[in-house]
Structure 1
């Protein structure tokens, strides 16, 4: 925990909120906050005493009112608290941690000339795409503010240029773990002793991608400022490995979680860590491998079920290319494109534009790469089931209710999703190692969020819970 750099205090309106008012607000948002001396949530960005230019920039970029997780994360962040933020993809976590650390960085940048040298904040993310996205958001929030510069530290670009940028007294650095470790090794002359704010964004994905050793190395070698450091961990899920990390490197951290809290003893162990977004309808289909393409083509050809943009997950890069070509061939009028790590950055950016402007309504991607895509989709299809329930949650979280509402306009047939996004998953016995936990989790979510389960999963639910599973056949 760091000193309250900005001297932040609750506004009069916030200070007037009673404990009952705060609880009512959090309950309405399905917000669960644990920790000591929890700050009150904000109701408006005007409550935060933000710099005038930053407040104007937020409005210009569509941040009119704080979203659920931002209400608590911004106030806690401005107080300098360590935080663990767990919410679905697209819930606004990025702005939730960016706003307070940018305020801190701005305050430090206004110190007398030469008193402090940046960077003052370091944001670690798993992929280049996500790093680029976050840096752009940060730039938009501090546009026109004096002495506020950023640096992007990622692979695929010249390290010499990035090192030179770091030496220009920048305030905020956004980096991937591998490139950050390389900079530590090859440029020991660069000073990082004033990193008062450290963010680990999508930390579970960093571990899934094998960056765990690099993350731990960075935490070990990054100097701690005399007054301490604010550490923020952001993730869609929290594994035991991540929890151990937070215990070791965070102090009196607040845990902020958005989402339902299940009291069902049978499902709570799975649901506490793996519950997907409550705004996404999930459909599970038992499909043998040899029938998956036929089933996929049938869904894409049916106007009642085809709700673009559609993001299809596969397990291999070659599979992404081949399936995209097959869709374009077998589904007339539907252009599909592929996205994976072997494609150069320029091609990935061009592909995203095709999807965003509607020229290519279907994108086929490998699961881990897709976590870094700044793309709203109405439908997610797990052509190849995720290897873990945790990764399944990440994939499902890519579906956007806002995009789904636009896609559903004019559709008269098919499932009534009520403004929810849609996630369709093909499973079979290839996934037997996780089917039990998967079936139990889905059953615990209820009929409002999951369409009836296939018979193969129903019997697993009965075995584990002693209760009948949702078994009413879905209607077309």
Structure 2
């Protein structure tokens, strides 16, 4: 590493030298830190076959997909062969003997299941009917998903597919816009509806122009997440309304190539008790399409759930005080590895307040990212060492339009710079973000299932990917034992000091890391807004920490947190009690703070993690 690079690594930007760093203050990053309990493990030597890879010598033609669609996805989407789950699902939904039957699709994230149900629906609609399909023909398919972001993604995929059959009209109804606009689109006529449960229930109750009597396909995507977020009553209502309103028999002669009954497709990565109950309620004599790469286990909640075999998973043990400086060092390495091709990283953080803090800190001297579709508050151009980079933030407290805009910008970014998304779990489920090379779980997920969805943002469609999980020394290191069964590619362990030495050099790494930390702390001391942001982030972080599922509570026990060390990772020099004594700030004495955390842990999951 040359000298200029070493100097740039000390601080985040060129203007940092202008900041006053009090020489009398000692950062104390490397004192009184607990030691790691585990030793580094070598990578698994066995060469595993990548998951989710398109099947060689297979084609969509053989599966009876409409030829225009086949040509379209080849030329426009560069997709030539189906994945295993696509082949399995298409063979059921397009085979003459089974296309009238319900289907359960069980496959991990990144397996291509969106096309597995969209292609059969479009193929059936594209077959010449006695009555020509148009927007006035009726609503034939409803796809229900748990989040607006996933609905937007599926709608975008659907829009790209129907460019070869413009007469088929899809529309999303997810909230986030005026209901009047959605009502207007429904009144004009729609053939395929992409919806979140609550918004669809609202329209079923109050939009008289929404006629569901001809619905031939009902798709429940991410069923495990739908149940987890408490949408069961909404799903019950929707199924009941579709059943009571059904009048398919009256149009069987007009549309002979469509099913003569409502076909329900249930998609889930896991098969927990709640998903099984939903399947028993919504499916009748269903076939099952399961990804061949999946492996079953004794625990039904993890049945057939595993990370891609080609994923490199690393667990990094980092003391609480050193978390932020270690994260920054990892981002420097990520930016330094940029070779000109599209390179993206996703950093998962447990709370919205912490996302705001880390984004603001990294972008505090940056120029706003120029965009006509996203606010400058959510994206910025920064310098990481000598490398320019674009950073984005995304969480559930953001306005829906801004969330959608940021997701679109990040997913479609093709600029000659590394792209880094800092987000909560709002971006962990089902979303397809191309060219993500690295996933960083800065805060561990609240469950193994959520962990799998996070790391599923990379290593998709047979491509390689890396995932880095930050763990505190001590009890948290036992988390790797829970993760090993769902990581066929094995788990590597590492320590923060190796990373810091790689970035800052073998001789001066502690001094340079301390200088960076001191610059952060001085900025927060001098900027009252930054101080408020840091305190809010600290509070939300500890509240979110208490929400781990019961089975993992012994590993992630909020009572074991060293709050003084945690505050250091947010650039705060005061102990938590000192913070609580300031006027008009958070009262976070330890007992009161733990009460808040325990209250948060009892709160049921919401659509977004917005602590």
Is the shorter-chain TM-score for this pair beyond 0.5, marking a shared fold? yes
Quote the residue 2:59 is aligned against.
Answer: 44
Whether the 8 Å CA contact 1:57–1:140 is kept in 2: the answer is: no
- Secondary structure at the counterpart of residue 378 of structure 1: strand
- The 1-side partners of 2:472 and 2:354 are apart by 18
Structure-2 change in CA distance of 1:269 and 1:153 (3 Å): closer
Q: Return the offset for 1:423.
A: 0.9
Instruction: Identify which of 71, 78, 83 aligns with 1:67.
Output: 83
**Residue number in structure 1 paired with 2:206:** 186
* Per-residue deviation, 1:306: 5.7
Find the counterpart in structure 2 of residue 291 from structure 1: 322
- 1:108-257 paired onto structure 2 within 5 Å: 111=131, 117-145=137-165, 147-223=167-243, 224=246, 225-226=248-249, 227-257=260-290
Counterpart for residue 451 of structure 2: 392
How far, CA to CA, are the matches of 1:127 and 1:431 in structure 2? Answer: 33
Structure 2 CA distance for partners of 1:169 and 1:309, relative to 1, 3 Å: same
The CA distance in 2 between the partners of 1:142 and 1:95, in whole Å, is: 13
Q: CA deviation at 1:108?
A: 8.3
Which of 346, 353, 358 lines up with 1:318 in the alignment? 353
2 CA distance for matches of 1:128 and 1:264? 32
Higher relative contact order (CA 8 A, sep 6+): 2
The verdict on how the C-alpha distance between 1:80 and 1:429 changes in structure 2, with shifts beyond 3 A counting, is: farther
Q: Work out the CA distance in 2 between the residues paired with 1:75 and 1:124.
A: 22
Taking the aligned partners of 1:150 and 1:430, their CA distance within structure 2 comes to 51
TM-score, structure 2 as length reference: 0.58
Deviation at 1:372, TM superposition (A): 5.7
- 1:340 aligned onto 2:384: no
Give the deviation of 1:277 after TM superposition: 1.9
Q: Structure 2: give runs of 5+ residues left out of the alignment.
A: 1-48, 250-259, 365-382, 496-611
Provide the C-alpha distance between the structure 2 equivalents of 1:277 and 1:113, rounded to a whole number of angstroms.
40
Q: Which residue number corresponds to residue 449 of structure 1? A: 490
CA displacement at 1:128 relative to structure 2:
2.1
Q: Secondary structure at the match of 1:174?
A: strand
Return the alpha-carbon distance in structure 2 between the equivalents of residues 109 and 287 of structure 1.
62
1:283 Cα deviation after fit: 1.1
Distance 1:148 1:375, change over 3 A: same
Aligned 8 A contact 2:344 2:419 in 1: yes
**Structure 1 position 100, deviation (Å):** 0.5
- 1:105-135: CA deviation from partner (whole Å, max 9, x where unpaired): 3348653689x94210001112222222212
Flag the 1:442–1:106 CA change in 2: closer, same or farther, 3 A.
same
Q: CA deviation at 1:30?
A: 7.5
Aligned to 2:421: 363
Change (3 A) 1:262 1:155: closer
Counterpart-to-counterpart distance in 2, 1:29 and 1:252: 32
Deviations 1:136-188, CA, capped at 9 Å, x for gaps? 22232232436311122120122223223223342111111111011011114
Equivalent position SS for 2:188: coil
Three-state SS of the structure 1 residue aligned to 2:202 is: helix
Aligned residue for 2:303, secondary structure, equals helix
Normalised by the length of structure 1, the TM-score is 0.73
Q: Deviations over 1:346-403 (max 9, x none)?
A: 433543425623456211111134436441211111111111111111111111357x
2:103–2:289 contact (8 Å) kept in structure 1: yes
Residue 245 of structure 1, CA deviation: 0.5
Aligned Cα RMSD in Å? 3.4
Pairs aligned (count): 398
Which runs of 5 or more structure 1 residues have no equivalent in the other structure?
1-27, 32-40, 406-418, 455-476
1:222 Cα deviation (Å)?
A: 1.6
